[in-house]
Chain A
Amino acid sequence: MNVYALLFLIAGLGLIGWLTARARAARFDRGPQKRLHSLPSQHGWYVVLWMMIPALLFLAVWNGLTPGLVRQAALQDPAAAQLSDFDFERDAVLSEARRLSEDPQATGDPLAHQLSHAVGEARSRYKWIGTAVAVLLAFAGGAFAFTRIRASFHARTRVERGVMLLLLVASLIAILTTLGIFLSLLWESLRFFQQVPITDFLLGTHWSPQVIDAADPGASLGAVPLFWGTFFIGAVIAMLVAIPFGLMSAIYLTQYAAPRVRRWMKPILEILAGVPTVVYGYFAALTVAPAVRDLAVSLGYTYASSESALAAGLVMGVMIIPFVSSMADDSIAAVPTAMRDGSLAMGATTSETISRVLIPAALPGVVAGILLAVSRAIGETMIVVMAASGAAKITLNPFESATTVTKQIVDLLTGEAEFDSPKTLAAFALGLTLFVITLLLNIVALRVVKRYREAYE
């Protein structure tokens, strides 16, 4: 049976369970004290929980297991003896067999045709087993719960405990995701570091994954140029744009602008943060990069690249402006007005008050905001994928091309590559590095705020 139909069926059974249990609880003999411990609908929910949760859990596990079981069954088939020993080819034939079992009219590999019968049979068998067990579980759970409800039964306590468990599971998903990210990155990176020494990767200065020497894969997988490019574009060029513009915008909007202007300009600046990065990337590649190249040529660089670090960094900086400005805005607003008024009363001009009183007082917040902005810039992908180059160079010239970690991850994983080669695994090692660096930047930013923030009032 179709998964959606099955889910629908189980939900329907749950509804019937809720209605019958509620109707039954409503007609309970209330006894001498005339009051039930639980409301009728809570009895209903108790039955629903027992009907749906075991069945759904089973389905989730079963759906994960079925492909493996089908595969196992297909390999038992006599025709499977002709299968190639190579995992890759075997998987290709098996997946073709699965397609053929759904659509016998389609054409395909003759071996896949022979296997498709076994595959189709195993699939329908496991599907029916799954359906039967799930429905049976729903009925068994429902019957168990139904026999337990009576006037003295504390359904509310049970249901609420179930709800609490659900809430707890929901919040554990965050930890599981973090753990999943870390473990999957670590796992693939370890496989990478088995083939390439970690020192070669972290300290090597030559990056050219297109040609990897099988004898010494580490020689062309040195990531230092990538780290430099990421730092140069994200932390230097982008910040040279974002910090002055963001900070000055925040100062102007909080200290000088009329409330009406502020009410309009703040959301307009925030739109900058809401524009999808792919749009910025397109804009950078199509409009900004040629302009930057023309500028470079007019300055006398004849070999100026149209995929310069400057174009990507400039556009990225613009994207980050609202981020810096709203962080600065918040921390300037947190400085007590009394300090500002005091400084003004002493005869300082507004700009003197800002630069000598407000900014020093708000500095921890501003610094934390800048660190977070850097972390965001070095993780930014689409702008550099579309506007930066793939050539890894260590250079200080912003008109030259530079590449970044994120750009390389996309390049490594979107080509036609097998899953086990050092080339593909290198992407995960780069991902791990990026993850660790951004995590550290965040932790440092939080520390800065916690430790140095002046506690006013």
Chain B
Amino acid sequence: MSSTIVPTVPTGAHEPAERAPTDWRTQSMQKRIRRRYAAERRFRFFGMAAVVLSAAFLAFLLVTMVAQGWRGFTRTDIAIEMNFPAIALPVTAAQLRSPAADLALAGAGLENAVKAAAAQQFGEGGDDFISDRAWVKVRDAIKADPAILTRTVRFAVPASTKIDQGTRNGGEPEFRAAAARLQAAGLLSRSFNGNFLTASDSTDPVAVGIWGALKGSLLTMAVTFLIAFPVGVLSAIYLEEYAPRNRWTDLIEVSINNLAAVPSIIFGLLGLAVFLGSWQIGGVTVGPLLPRSAALVGGLTLALMIMPVIVIASRNAIKAVPPSIRDAALGIGASPIQVVFHHVLPLAMPGILTGTIIGMARALGETAPLLLIGMRAFMVTPPGGFTDPATVLPVQIFLWSDEVSRGFVEKTSAAILVLLAFLLAMNGLAIYLRNKFETRW
């Protein structure tokens, strides 16, 4: 150690004393190394455990939802026999061919006839075994083929909630026994419940569907997008390309960053106070500026919430476009506006769209602000427009989740599956866009 490579340079007397090399083979050293390696393995194991447990939680959540939710897409059917010649519904063939067939069959007492048939076959209280909407299926069958009115036909109609719960050993004991009896007689079957995707909210879990809430969600998302996207992109362009660096633009920048971190429920309070509160403008009291619990208000509120997300994503995308593109466009005589709108913006668009989709996905799953602005009413008809009272999918889930006792559990889980499917599709689209258009300059 003390010998030098270059012979002419003398080794000084103040050179540190030579240290004996570490003997790695001594027992104490070996023990120490083993301990350190054990610590290393432990640490590594904890890291892996953290990742695996987090993923396991996600898997557990999804499996629980799917296990409960798939039943929401199916329903229990119960077989009943309709002896039409004996019932002799007072309808004529001409009525059944006319557009008023629904009305004629309802007026002829088909609903009571179906109930009576159920009571006759299943004994006292048997009309409780079939769903309130069971007769609709019989009606549709008659409309499709009026000839069945001349003979006895066996239908598989939707069973009531009580029977449906009974098939899974839930609900009231008396219906559990009835369900077991029917099962043994081979009268029960399961079928796909298409009604769940096309119907709206109802008090009867057999008849509920998510279409009303889904349509409300789509309308709300449309408003959110139409406001947040242009405003977000335009302000990103301004801040990134044109804004002078001064106190005002700093203020705008700080506001945007802070807005991105404001809890979502605060936006609900804003919507409630600003859009739905009453205002004094020049001595005239202006009532709610916008209609209560409408998709318009919900969309506006969510637009304010996700705008900062879009601004931040758009700024990053615009920043990533290399200056040489701008210089080249400026060099051949384009004006600053033309540079941005003809060159920079098209190149930044994939990044902007990715950010927007992620923001929209967040808005789609948001519940709390919409609860505050009143989008939680019981809504039997889907909204017809932006100003009609509406509810959205997450709020529908929240409302159904309160009805655990009435057999809404599987419907809630099924609605969650639909919502998750939408979110996964949106995130998948965002990832696809990012991968497809990713450019390295």
Contacts and interface: CB of A to CB of B under 8 A. Distances in A.
B397 A174 contact: no
Nearest to A372: B261
Contact of B273 (A174, A184, A438): A184
Interface string B215-235: 000000000000000111011
B269 A184 contact: yes
Contacts of B161: none
A381 B366 CA distance: 10
Interface string B51-67: 10111011001001100
Contact of B337 (A160, A174, A318): A160
B6 interface: no
A277 B413 CA distance: 14
Contacts of A372: 261
Interface string B153-172: 00000000000000000000
B43 A354 contact: yes
B355 to A, nearest CB: 14
Interface string B242-279: 11000000011001111101111111011011100100
Interface string A243-261: 0111111011101110000
Nearest to B59: A268
A65 B431 CA distance: 45
B42 to A, nearest CB: 8
B368 A381 contact: yes
B351 interface: no
A346 interface: no
Contact of A279 (B39, B50, B231, B420): B420
Contact of A435 (B262, B397, B412): B262
B420 A283 contact: no
B116 to A, nearest CB: 35
A5 B32 CA distance: 82
Nearest to A248: B50
Given A171-B234, A174-B252, A414-B376, A276 B263 contact: no
A180 B267 CA distance: 10
Contact of A167 (B235, B257, B398): B235
Contacts of B43: 350-351, 354-355
Contacts of A248: 46-47, 49-51
B368 A406 contact: yes
B44 A351 contact: yes
Number of chain B interface residues as a range: 35 or more
Contacts of B289: 64
B197 interface: no
B308 interface: yes
B239 interface: yes
Given A72-B284, A354-B43, A409-B265, A275 B376 contact: no
Contacts of B58: 268-269, 271-272, 275
Interface residues of A, number: 94
A438 B264 CA distance: 11
B337 A382 contact: no
B237 interface: yes
B361 A274 contact: yes
B36 interface: yes
B267 to A, nearest CB: 8
Contacts of B39: 349, 351-352
A181 interface: yes
Contact of B287 (A91, A167, A382): A91
A265 interface: yes
Given A349-B36, A410-B371, A279 B397 contact: yes
Given A171-B235, A275-B423, A283-B64, 9 more contacts: A65-B284, A174-B259, A174-B308, A187-B273, A248-B50, A249-B51, A349-B39, A378-B263, A442-B258
A-B complex: 4 closest residue pairs judged by Cβ atoms = A379-B263, A252-B47, A276-B365, A171-B235
Interface of A: 64-65, 67-69, 71-72, 91, 156, 160, 163-164, 166-168, 170-175, 177-178, 180-181, 184-185, 187-188, 244-249, 251-253, 255-257, 265, 267-269, 271-272, 274-283, 285-287, 318, 321-322, 349-352, 354-355, 372, 375-376, 378-382, 385-386, 406, 409-410, 413-414, 419, 427-428, 431, 434-435, 438-439, 442, 446
26 contacts: A65-B286, A68-B285, A71-B284, A167-B242, A171-B234, A171-B238, A174-B311, A175-B252, A177-B307, A181-B267, A248-B49, A269-B54, A275-B423, A276-B366, A276-B367, A276-B420, A283-B64, A355-B43, A379-B265, A381-B263, A381-B368, A406-B263, A413-B372, A428-B269, A438-B261, A442-B257
